[in-house]
A and B are shown apart, each in its own frame.
Chain A
Amino acid sequence: MAPDTCINADSSHDASQIIHIPLMNSSPLSSPLIEVRAAAFGYARRSVVQVDALHLRAASCLGLFGPNGAGKTTLIRGITGLLPPLTGDVRRATPYDRPLQFGYMPQHRAMEPGWPMTALDAASLGVSAQRRFGWINRADRAAVHESLAQLTVSDLADRPFSKLSGGQQQRVLLAGALAARPDVLLLDEPTDGLDVQSRQNLLDLLRTLTLAGLCIVMISHEIEDLMQAATQIAWLRPGAEPGDPSTTEMITPATLAERVLNTRRLAQERAQ
């Protein structure tokens, strides 16, 4: 795929609306950006989650699925290097001879609404975090504006972030995460609290970004979302006994749907 790709990003938008998504820092499709082998992650020598094998490549979307407390956040911390593995091996590629860059899109519902900030300020969070003292320069500001324009929310830049709708907030935050030019984009329940149309728009956008070459890791409890956006799924299952680490099974979205449908059917039969 060419470094700069023009893709019709959002089917729900005007057909003439073309989003220009530059391929940021992604490495060739063949070599994994992150490789996890027989690793266990946890705290204070207590293993929370185990992974046999996990490969993250450019132009892929990994969905993390599992119940609360199964260790999704712990796995994310392990993948990103914030948490060293207790056992096993985690390898991260160094594209362009520098460490991998991670972008993070926070949940819009987890944002503090009382802080006075515009959509532009909210979109600048990711870039600001990477700069000394949080100061952003003119080039950074231009990158954020460009990213907002790519996601068709540049007209919201000067509006108070707290006054935007949930869908608009998510697009602004996604633009901010992309403005930092990440190799891997981390999304924490991106469709939480969105209406049907906003959810569909966001999922379409994520698919577009994946096709454009970005590597995405998405935590979600919504099977529909994972089926639409994810290319592979890490299903985290809690251990048999309390205190046992969760296990991670790599499956396809189709397998997840099949298993969940079967489970629902069984539950309905039991109820009848």
Chain B
Amino acid sequence: MNVSITLDRQLPQHAPTPETPSKRHAASSLSRRRQSALLSSKHPRRGERAGVRGERQGELIMRSRFSDLESSGDLRSPAKQLSRDSTSAHGDALRAEGLLPLAKSCLILLLLLIALPTRADDRHHHPHPPTPARDLLNEIDTIQSPSSTAQEVANPPRSLPHRWRLLQLFWPVLLTAAALAIAGSIAGLFVLLRGEALVALAMPQVVAIGVAIGLRMGWPTLPPAMVASAAGLMFFVAAKRRGAGHWVLPSLYVAGLSFSFLIIASHGLDVTELQGMFVGVDVAVSVQRALLAAPILLLTGIIVAALWRRWLVLAQAPAAAELAGLHPARQDALFLSLLTTILLLGTDSLGVVMALALLFLPAAAVLPWFRRIPDAMIAAAALGVALTFGGFELSNAFDWPFSQSVGGLGFVIVALSHLAARWRT
């Protein structure tokens, strides 16, 4: 490991202050690179690099881009045009499916949010509102490490005390990621077996709409993300029951990608934060968020695992389930709700890349090797946790982003697993 501890101070607990409501009170935007810089003594310039305000840079870039757009025409008009087009194109289908009122309400709500002047607009006058997350970043950036050499001698890289300090520093991230790994890999197994990968891909985009609303309004991001994902899920389940799920999912995917950014258009700081959530380079979780998300994720994973025979019956003999008094559509909605819970907490806490990597990759890697679902679930959960810690090690060793380290390592394992399985047969 290339890093050593140079920081004596513990990261502060960044609870929202009364004067400055937190943008993402639970999930801060603490950059992995910044954290590495804090711990680094071998790369003295890394501290300087980390000292550059990523958010401010991003904001300036986004500002200039959006100010050009604003000067050239109405920035929000493409959104209105898009919604008008999509409404007319799908109008008949929606009416036929009886989904028109719901779709209309969602569109109107989104357009209102895009057009709504909010407290966030004050940022034109105060470009960098002090939030706990940014306070934390500022504090980290300004930390000097006068005793780095002495600490490096005391705790050389890859030593046990060094790893212990890393764990102390990153335990909320690791706890949440490990919980996501367990729950996600178990649910991911059934997502792959049920052929519902597109649901898993579309839901984080829908969650992003809620996060964007939270950012725009200056609220915590989790509650609006919950509302958005619940609305998206209800819309999809209703459409699926009417046989229209195949066009709703891709539409939700695109809508999430588009509306999430339209809602915070011209607010560069928020755009950067949302980009961070999508890309997953910045991964940090507050203690409060970790203590909230990890138990819920684990509980959801346990429920999914406990109902494995139910998912099996619904997939293999839905008529038998129906004859036994089960409602396949309700069971289907239950599974999708559990999946959405995992994706919601995973995306809002750790970002889209990490959520999807831990959902798909462990499950895909173990599937060729097991002849029973319980064995596959245990192996997938174990591999998911191993991937999390393996990705963390890689991230620290090579100064790579955490999510991408997990995703890259996971894909290599999937490829090797399938090659080995093919060779075996």
List the interface of chain A (C-beta within 8 A of B): 80, 82, 102, 104, 106, 111-112, 114-118, 121-122, 124-126, 128-130, 133-136, 160, 177, 186, 188
A104 touches B373 (CB 8 A): no
- A-B contacts, 15 of them at CB < 8 A, read A82-B322, A104-B319, A104-B323, A115-B193, A115-B312, A116-B372, A116-B376, A117-B312, A117-B371, A117-B372, A121-B372, A125-B320, A129-B326, A133-B310, A135-B309
| Residues A128 and B193 in contact in the complex (CB < 8 Å), given A118-B371, A133-B306 | no
Shortest CB-to-CB span from B254 to chain A, Å, is 28
Smallest Cβ-Cβ distance to B321: which chain A residue: A129
> Is B307's beta carbon under 8 Å from chain A?
yes
CA distance A80 to B367 in the complex (A): 37
Classify chain B: how many residues form its interface, as a range: 20 to 34
Shortest CB-to-CB span from B328 to chain A, Å, is 11
Given contacts A80-B323, A134-B313, A135-B306, 10 further A-B contacts (CB under 8 A): A106-B317, A111-B317, A116-B375, A116-B376, A117-B373, A121-B373, A125-B317, A126-B320, A128-B313, A129-B320
Q: Which 9 A-B pairs rank lowest in CB-CB distance, beginning with the nearest?
A: A134-B309, A134-B310, A129-B324, A104-B320, A128-B309, A106-B317, A130-B324, A160-B371, A102-B323
> Is B81's beta carbon under 8 Å from chain A?
no
Question: How would you classify the secondary structure of chain B's contact residues: helix, strand, loop or mixed?
Answer: helix
User: Chain B residues near A124 (CB, 8 Å)?
Assistant: 309
User: Chain A residues near B315 (CB, 8 Å)?
Assistant: 112, 115
Shortest CB-to-CB span from B378 to chain A, Å, is 12
CA distance A80 to B322 in the complex (A): 10
Shortest CB-to-CB span from B262 to chain A, Å, is 39
> Is B77's beta carbon under 8 Å from chain A?
no
| Residues A116 and B323 in contact in the complex (CB < 8 Å), given A104-B317, A125-B312, A125-B317 | no
CA distance A53 to B323 in the complex (A): 23
User: Chain A residues near B367 (CB, 8 Å)?
Assistant: 114, 116
A111 touches B309 (CB 8 A): no
> Is B66's beta carbon under 8 Å from chain A?
no
> Is B308's beta carbon under 8 Å from chain A?
yes
CA distance A122 to B372 in the complex (A): 11
A82 touches B323 (CB 8 A): yes
CA distance A65 to B315 in the complex (A): 27
User: Which chain B residues (356-396) contact chain A, with CB distance < 8 Å?
Assistant: 367, 370-373, 375-376
User: Chain B residues near A104 (CB, 8 Å)?
Assistant: 317, 319-320, 323
Smallest Cβ-Cβ distance to A111: which chain B residue: B316
User: Chain B residues near A125 (CB, 8 Å)?
Assistant: 312-313, 316-317, 320
B317 touches A115 (CB 8 A): no
User: Chain B residues near A129 (CB, 8 Å)?
Assistant: 313, 317, 320-321, 323-324, 326
B307 touches A115 (CB 8 A): no
